[in-house]
């Protein structure tokens, strides 16, 4: 087994995939649970988060760690806790993540810049958006705004339920507690569409620990960083990232179809079906939708054919 290399003060690109490439993030709650876990647990270690990108079936983060032990312990702590919570939510008992995460030190400013560009552009490469800053879950837009994907939040104009939810989130944050599925479902259930978008931006901005100044300093300004992302996709030849299919847009289309077809309020309800039932559902969806079978199987977390 190759020894992990961590150099003090040097950016490390960390990369995590799920077992069999199964989809990991299905909705806003999945992303917020992971993000708040990441942001609360990192405070226990000598680590600076520089970039983070949550993709439907994998995770990238670039961090500067003091010691190899810190980096490994941090990733393990976040991974184990999220897997535990997500397995309960998705009615699953088997391992969710692959045993080891990948990590590569980025020595020199050029390598670090290329890495930051690569993380920002992952959703662009997967055709989820046209520009990196349009994707909420690479958190780029939060470097410049605390509400990049919602209307400004004016507390005096907010509903009573919204003010109550904001207060509850603030209490959890101030006590360095991550947000769990039950908590998020409870507070979001009382909010309208506009308030839900505002709440998501509020939670991300409140919990956010990403050190944007580090990445921006590599480019000279935030605008220069975005321009670099618009002009280049970046590359990670030493990480050997493997993609399934050509576009991750299919995952949102599958979600929409299943929620309508099965009358689901929460997409996680598909995991109340047994694996044989999800296999039957696989063939039904494949018959009615033009989606790649391999990505559909990974969405439903089933094995179809040879892996």
Write down the pLDDT at residue 238.
61
Range(s) of the chain covered by CATH 3.30.70.1290: 1-240
What is the pLDDT at residue 237?
A: 58
pLDDT of residue 307: 43
The pTM for the full model equals: 0.94
The span from the CA of 279 to the CA of 80, in Å, is 28
Residues 6+ apart with CB under 8 A from 49: 38, 39, 42, 61, 62, 63, 209, 210, 211
Q: What are phi and psi of 29, to 5 degrees?
A: -65, -40
List Cα–Cα distances, 50 to 9, 109, 219, 279, in angstroms. 12, 14, 14, 40
pLDDT of residue 235: 63
Separation between Cα atoms, residue 257 and residue 114, nearest integer Å = 37
Give which of 195, 175, 201, 239 is closest to 40, Cα–Cα.
Answer: 175
What is the structure's pLDDT at 2? 60
- Residue 18, beta-bridge partner list: 97
How confident is the model at residue 244, as a pLDDT?
A: 72
CATH 3.30.70.1290 fits 1-240, yes or no: yes
Q: How far apart are CA 68 and CA 71, in angstroms?
A: 5
Give, for all 307 residues of the chain, the pLDDT tens digit.
466 788 888 999 999 999 989 999 999 999 999 999 999 999 999 999 999 999 999 999 999 998 889 999 999 999 999 999 999 999 888 889 987 888 899 999 999 999 999 999 999 999 999 999 999 999 999 999 999 999 999 999 999 999 999 999 999 999 999 999 999 999 999 999 999 999 999 999 999 999 999 999 999 999 999 999 999 876 665 666 666 778 999 999 999 999 999 999 999 999 999 999 999 999 999 999 999 999 999 999 998 764 4
In this prediction, residue 242 carries a pLDDT of 66
Distance CA 39, CA 264 (A): 30
């Amino acid at each position: 087994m190759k020894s992990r290399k961590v150099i003090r003060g040097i950016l490390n690109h960390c990369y995590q995939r799920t077992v069999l490439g199964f989809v990991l993030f299905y909705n806003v709650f999945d992303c917020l649970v992971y993000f708040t876990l990441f942001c609360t647990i990192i405070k226990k270690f000598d680590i600076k988060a520089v970039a983070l990108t949550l993709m439907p079936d994998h995770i990238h983060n670039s961090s500067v760690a003091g010691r190899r032990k810190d980096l490994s312990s941090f990733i393990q702590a976040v991974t184990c806790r999220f897997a535990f919570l997500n397995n309960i939510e998705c009615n699953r008992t088997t391992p969710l993540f692959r045993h080891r995460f990948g990590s590569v030190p980025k020595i020199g400013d050029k390598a670090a810049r290329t890495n930051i560009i690569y993380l920002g552009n992952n959703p662009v490469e997967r055709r989820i958006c046209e520009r990196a800053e349009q994707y909420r879950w690479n958190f780029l837009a939060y470097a410049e705004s605390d509400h990049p994907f919602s209307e400004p939040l004016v507390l005096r104009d907010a509903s009573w339920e919204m003010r109550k939810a904001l207060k509850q989130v603030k209490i959890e944050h101030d006590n360095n507690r991550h947000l769990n599925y039950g908590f998020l479902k409870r507070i979001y259930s009382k909010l309208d569409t506009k308030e839900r978008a505002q709440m998501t931006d509020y939670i991300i901005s409140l919990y956010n620990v990403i050190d944007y100044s580090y990445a921006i300093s590599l480019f000279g300004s935030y605008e220069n960083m975005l321009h670099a992302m618009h002009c280049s996709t970046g590359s990670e030849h030493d990480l050997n990232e493997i993609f399934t299919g050509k576009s991750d847009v299919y995952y949102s289309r599958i979600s929409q179809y299943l929620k309508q077809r099965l009358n689901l309020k929460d997409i996680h309800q598909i995991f109340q079906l047994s694996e044989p039932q999800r296999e039957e559902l696989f063939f039904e969806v494949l018959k009615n939708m033009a989606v790649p079978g391999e990505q559909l199987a990974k969405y439903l977390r089933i094995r179809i054919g040879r892996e």
